[in-house]
């Protein structure tokens, strides 16, 4: 279904991408097929030549997948989407499409870890150089840009520091230098932040997180701004092969129906919990864009329509304090990932980053007592009670 652009996100979440179908099913069927028949030789030739619309082979497109692509593109106010097998597949496809030997990338230093590694260990091998800067400071982007810069890549709010990058300012700097601004919009979801309306050229998502929202699928999305980008990225994705399957596309599309509603609850719960944590004697510091104490709180208010479900905070007692909290929560689940209906808690120093030398870890702003909380949609007071009893064991 092609949606009126002016519909709200609540309406788009429910209806966008729900295509018409033969039996008028309210929920379109899952086209669990790898390939599609040609009516005759001329039909096959016309499809391959692009003279007729239709499906050929699922790596090149599939109706169930296209429904999801349309939904996310419409929520993002973008042109068309390209669903991928994971967020990393989406990011890799964008880099592969636009970068060649000798090119340069300016990337947020507060970015999803594997994105850094992808640039440093894979793209560096092919002669692509990356400068990592604090993109929440526009001057550091400006200083890092070179004549060879092809992509300015920002994640906002960024991982794990939740620092906010001014998308409009970053887009202007990128465009003055002939580069593209690519925004990883995973932490906000299209409901809380619309990068295209602020000047971004390409948006990427890990749909594993808020878009799907139920922690049962790994998936990614690229959203383009125009047909030229779409054609290049479609071809690149088809050649690299990092596509999603129809069943996973169906599940993500189903998850999106409650996206606007979930985001409202994620934001309300996170705000309440962040305010509770900020007053707790066992908590040294809380980082949440919705708190006036956040360094870019004013920018977050301008650029986002809500502050999201992610909170970082530092507990008293260093590593042992963090471990005590992890070992005593009952409702919050100990796991990585984020953006699902269930609240997840993680202590990088004893878990994800335990093998990293302490000095390097501190340099990446991952202090001993840092805890990352992905606030779910449970009852806020029950989450607060759980955190309170666990914090009091420190
Ligand atoms: C999880 C995540 C990714 C990678 O997505 P996968 O679906 O795990 O491949 C990229 N960016 C951000 C911000 C993420 O949180």
Q: Verify whether residue 112 is a known catalytic residue.
A: yes
CA of 282 to the centre of ligand 1 (A): 30
CA of 349 to the centre of ligand 1 (A): 20
**pLDDT tens, residue by residue, 307-327:** 999 999 999 999 999 999 999
Residues in the chain: 394
Q: Which CATH number fits domain 9-256: 3.40.390.10, 3.40.50.2300, 3.40.640.10, 3.40.1350.10?
A: 3.40.640.10
pLDDT of residue 3: 67
CA of 184 to the centre of ligand 1 (A): 9
Q: Verify whether residue 100 is a known catalytic residue.
A: no
Torsion of CA 174, 92, 95, 374, to 10 degrees: 10
Tell me the DSSP string of 88-117. HHHHHHHHHHH--TT-EEEEESSS-HHHHH
Q: Verify whether residue 257 is a known catalytic residue.
A: no
pLDDT of residue 154: 98
Tell me the C-alpha distance between 132 and 144, whole Å. 8
Domain parsing of the chain, residue ranges:
9-256, 260-391
**Distant-in-sequence, close-in-space partners of 319: CB < 8 Å, separation ≥ 6:** 349, 350, 368, 369
Q: Verify whether residue 279 is a known catalytic residue.
A: no
Are 69 and 221 a contacting pair, CB within 8 Å? yes
In the predicted model, residues of the chain with pLDDT beneath 70 are: 1-3
Q: Write the residue with the smallest CA distance to atom 4 of ligand 1.
A: 87
Ligand 1 closest atom vs CA 88: 9
Verdict on whether the full-model pTM lies above 0.95: yes
pLDDT of residue 354: 85
Q: Which CATH architecture has domain 260-391?
A: Alpha-Beta Complex (3.90)
**pLDDT tens, residue by residue, 246-271:** 999 999 999 999 999 999 999 999 99
**pLDDT tens, residue by residue, 50-100:** 999 999 999 999 999 999 999 999 999 999 999 999 999 999 999 999 999
Are 170 and 141 a contacting pair, CB within 8 Å? yes
Tell me the C-alpha distance between 250 and 372, whole Å. 30
């Amino acid at each position: 279904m092609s949606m009126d652009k002016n519909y709200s996100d609540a309406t788009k979440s429910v209806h966008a991408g729900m295509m018409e179908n033969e039996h008028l099913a309210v929920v379109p069927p899952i086209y669990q097929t790898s390939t599609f028949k040609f009516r005759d030789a001329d039909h096959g030739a016309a499809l391959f030549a692009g003279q007729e619309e239709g499906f050929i082979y699922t790596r090149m497109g599939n109706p169930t997948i296209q429904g999801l692509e349309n939904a996310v593109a419409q929520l993002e106010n973008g042109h068309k989407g390209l669903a991928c097998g994971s967020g990393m597949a989406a990011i890799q496809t964008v880099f592969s499409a636009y970068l060649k030997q000798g090119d340069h990338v300016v990337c947020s230093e507060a970015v999803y870890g594997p994105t850094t590694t992808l640039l440093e260990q894979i793209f560096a091998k092919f002669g692509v150089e990356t400068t990592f800067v604090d993109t929440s400071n526009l001057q550091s982007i400006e200083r890092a840009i070179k004549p060879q810069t092809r992509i300015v890549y920002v994640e906002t709010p960024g991982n794990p520091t939740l620092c906010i990058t001014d998308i409009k300012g970053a887009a202007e700097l990128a465009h003055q230098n002939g580069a593209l601004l690519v925004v990883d919009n995973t932490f906000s979801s299209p409901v809380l932040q619309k990068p295209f309306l602020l000047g971004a050229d390409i948006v990427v998502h890990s749909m594993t997180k808020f878009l799907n929202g139920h922690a049962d699928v790994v998936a990614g999305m690229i959203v383009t701004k125009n047909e030229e980008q779409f054609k290049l990225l479609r071809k690149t994705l088809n050649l690299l092969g990092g596509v999603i399957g129809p069943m996973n596309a169906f599940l993500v599309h189903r998850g999106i129906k409650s996206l606007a509603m979930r985001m409202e609850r994620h934001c309300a719960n996170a705000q309440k919990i962040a305010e509770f944590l900020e007053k707790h004697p066992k908590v040294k510091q809380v980082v949440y864009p919705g708190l006036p104490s956040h360094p870019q709180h004013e920018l977050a208010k301008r650029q986002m329509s809500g502050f999201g479900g992610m909170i970082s905070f530092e507990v008293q007692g260093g590593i042992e304090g963090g471990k005590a909290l992890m070992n005593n929560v009952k409702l919050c689940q100990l796991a990585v990932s984020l953006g699902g209906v269930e609240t997840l808690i993680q202590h990088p120093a004893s878990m994800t980053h335990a093998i990293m030398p302490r000095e390097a870890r501190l340099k990446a702003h991952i202090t001993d007592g840092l805890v990352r909380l992905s606030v779910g949609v449970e009852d806020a007071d029950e989450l607060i009670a759980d955190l309170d009893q666990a914090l009091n064991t420190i």
